[in-house]
């Protein structure tokens, strides 16, 4: 009996702009309320969360702007909207904490990464504060210095 090989990565989509645009203070894991065709599309990797954002409406946390492109074979009879609003599944305590951070402390909630945890699709969201222009320049300098440092170390060990 052959064992089923696990894929090397369980990550579906990553928001690379998030770490450049925001200081992420806290990270939470949330479940997603998905339809069947969306799960099939996620398994095929047809997802983009770079333009998405998370908001709290009527005591529910929803993600807006995430794009899940439907597969041509899986949704022939279903009307599929790639950018529909999707509800995030969080506990009441976590929702109340997010509401407090957004309304009282001025934070924003952003999606950071979408991944598989077992057979469940999860979304990692971050409670973040926006960066100023000079902060972005500092992060570019730090990244460039780390790259140059690696080159110098590599050159010295050869």
pLDDT per residue as tens digits for the range 124-148: 999 999 888 877 888 889 889 999 9
Mean residue pLDDT across the chain? 88
* Tokens found for residue 54: 């998370």
- Report the share of the chain in percent with pLDDT over 90: 58
Q: Residue 127's pLDDT is what?
A: 94
Domains of the chain (ranges, CATH numbers): 11-131 (2.40.280.10)
* Range list of β-strands (E), the chain: 11-14, 22-32, 47-48, 53-57, 60-64, 67-68, 86-89, 108-117, 120-130
Confidence of residue 1 (pLDDT cuts 50, 70, 90): very low
* DSSP 3-state of 8: coil
pLDDT at 7 over 60: no
pLDDT at 67 over 80: yes
- Are 32 and 113 contacting, i.e. CB atoms less than 8 angstroms apart? no
d(CA 40, CA 46): 9
């Amino acid at each position: 009996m052959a064992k089923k090989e696990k894929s090397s990565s369980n990550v579906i989509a990553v928001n690379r702009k998030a770490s450049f645009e925001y200081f992420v203070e806290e990270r939470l894991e949330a479940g997603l309320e998905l339809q069947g065709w969306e799960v099939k599309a996620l398994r095929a990797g047809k997802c983009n969360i770079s333009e998405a954002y998370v908001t709290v409406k009527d005591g529910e946390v929803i993600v807006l702007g995430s794009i899940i492109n439907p597969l041509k074979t899986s949704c022939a009879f279903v009307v599929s909207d790639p950018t529909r609003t999707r509800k995030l599944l969080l506990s009441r305590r976590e929702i109340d904490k997010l509401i407090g951070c957004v309304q009282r402390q001025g934070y924003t909630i952003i999606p950071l990464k979408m991944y598989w945890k077992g057979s469940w699709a999860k979304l990692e969201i971050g409670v973040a504060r926006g960066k100023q222009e000079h902060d972005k320049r500092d992060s570019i300098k730090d990244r460039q210095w780390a790259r140059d440092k690696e080159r110098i170390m590599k050159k010295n060990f050869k």
